[in-house]
Amino acid sequence: METKLVTHPVEIPAGDTPECWPRAAVAGWLDTCATLQLWTQMVGKVRLALTPKVNHWWNVPLYVSARGLATSAIPLGPRSFELEFDFIAQALVLRVSDGEERRLPLRPVATADFYREFLALLAAAGIVVKIWPMPVELPDPVRFDQDRRAAAYDPEVARLLWTILRSAARVFQRFRAGFIGKCSPVHFFWGSFDLAVTRFSGRRAPPRPGADAIAREAYSHEVRSVGFWPGRRGSGVEAAVFYAYAAPEPPGFREAAVRPAEARYSPEFGEFLLDYEAVRQAPSPTAALLEFCETTYAAAADLAHWDRAALEA
């Protein structure tokens, strides 16, 4: 089957300067990311508790901001508030629509202590919310209020992560712009700790065997997703990667010829993986990542017989 690609003009100088794609294989990368995953889950659970449910759980992610990762405005009676991990000021910032602003410093501290301080931050601003204190999507989770294992935090690693997220989000937004069908925002899921954008065919998907309520809602329709994951110790992927998958996966997808050449299909994860380092070292990281987005999408869409003429700009 011939695969049709949709290409977009890439302004190479705009997002390909070396500082846009820093080296991620640095000391403390996985430890800081592991701690931040727990801390972002606390913030995300507040958003989950206080916002109306949106299809595919689009009411719960965080977003890459000009200073870090933010919730966007959360309604609270006559007021609203937002929470932002500010990786420039190295603080979790609470801003309320009445002008109140409070800060919780980001520094090496046990997750149990951070959780206690986070709840105190909310309470001091009159924000009363109950969240489930158990982390999700992690092996062997420990309640936030009991976790003294995760305490590593390197501000430089956090800034590097945020820089990569900004660069990836810029490319994902360009990829998203070429699709006029239903498409998610470019958003950061705190459960799995990854940045993603998802295109939809418009057709319902068959039920996923063994799926829980969260997965059933997330994959109720045919999707094709691409994203960035910083990796996790013990997961089999301990370095930052880009990923792409189709759900349900059409026959032949894992054998598809995708680009760049460094991309590979992982049977364990059911996804194509492309090492961040390969993208970073490409002549144009923007072009390499956009090629990964386009070729994996085209393979999935063609093999699943999406109506591409109706879905693409």
Those residues with Cβ within 8 angstroms of residue 160's Cβ, 6 or more apart along the chain or in another chain: 22, 23, 24, 26, 29
- Do 51 and 85 have their domain in common? yes
pLDDT in tens, 239-263: 999 999 999 999 999 999 999 999 9
- Do 54 and 169 have their domain in common? no
pLDDT in tens, 48-88: 999 999 999 999 999 999 999 999 999 999 999 999 999 99
Confidence of residue 2 (pLDDT cuts 50, 70, 90): low
Cis peptide before 248 (omega within 30 of 0): yes
Could you tell me the sign of the dihedral formed by the alpha carbons of 145, 156, 122, 46, in that order?
negative
Those residues with Cβ within 8 angstroms of residue 87's Cβ, 6 or more apart along the chain or in another chain: 67, 68, 69, 106, 155, 158, 159, 161, 162
Helices (H) and strands (E) in the chain, counts: 8, 12
End-to-end CA distance of the chain: 22
Residue with tokens 């719960």: 60
- Do 37 and 122 have their domain in common? yes
Tell me, what's the pLDDT at 218? 87
Q: Are 103 and 124 in contact (CB under 8 A)?
A: no
Mean pLDDT, all residues of the chain: 95
Sheet containing 194-204: order of strands: 187-189, 194-204, 221-229, 241-247, 271-275, 264-266
3 pLDDT higher than 80: no
Q: Are 182 and 165 in contact (CB under 8 A)?
A: no
Domain membership flag for residue 288: yes
For 275, the 3-state DSSP assignment is strand
Domain membership flag for residue 303: yes
What is the rounded distance in angstroms from the CA atom of residue 144 to the CA atom of residue 133? 5
- Do 106 and 224 have their domain in common? no
Q: Which of residues 146, 181, 203 is at a domain's end?
A: 146
* Mean pLDDT, rounded, for 143-151: 97
Tell me, what's the pLDDT at 250? 97
278 pLDDT higher than 90: yes
* In the chain, % of residues over pLDDT 90: 91
Tell me, what's the pLDDT at 207? 86
Q: Alpha-carbon Rg of the chain, whole angstroms?
A: 20
Domain membership flag for residue 9: no
pTM equals 0.94
Total domains in the fold of the chain: 2
Domain membership flag for residue 152: no
Those residues with Cβ within 8 angstroms of residue 77's Cβ, 6 or more apart along the chain or in another chain: none
10 pLDDT higher than 50: no
- Do 39 and 168 have their domain in common? no
Domain membership flag for residue 227: yes
Tell me, what's the pLDDT at 120? 98
* Mean pLDDT, rounded, for 197-221: 90
Lowest-confidence region among 14-23, 63-72, 255-264, 272-281? 14-23
- Do 112 and 249 have their domain in common? no
> Quick one: tokens of 189?
């899921």
Domain membership flag for residue 129: yes
Residues comprising the chain, all counted: 313
220 burial (CB, 10 Å; 0-12 / 13-18 / 19+) is middle
Tell me, what's the pLDDT at 125? 98
Which residue, 224, 220, 214, 211, is CA-closest to 184?
A: 224
- Do 122 and 169 have their domain in common? no
Q: Which of residues 146, 175, 204 is at a domain's end?
A: 146
1 pLDDT higher than 80: no
- Do 49 and 125 have their domain in common? yes
Domain membership flag for residue 118: yes
Q: Which of residues 120, 146, 172 is at a domain's end?
A: 146
- Do 42 and 114 have their domain in common? yes
Domain membership flag for residue 131: yes
- Do 277 and 181 have their domain in common? yes
Range of the domain at 209: 164-311
36 pLDDT higher than 90: yes
Confidence of residue 6 (pLDDT cuts 50, 70, 90): low
- Do 209 and 306 have their domain in common? yes
The DSSP result for 121-187, as a single string, is HHHHTT-------S--SSSS---GGG--S-----HHHHHHHHHHHHHHHHHHHHHHHTB-S-B--SE
Confidence of residue 213 (pLDDT cuts 50, 70, 90): confident
- Do 230 and 279 have their domain in common? yes
* Mean pLDDT, rounded, for 262-281: 98
Tell me, what's the pLDDT at 4? 58
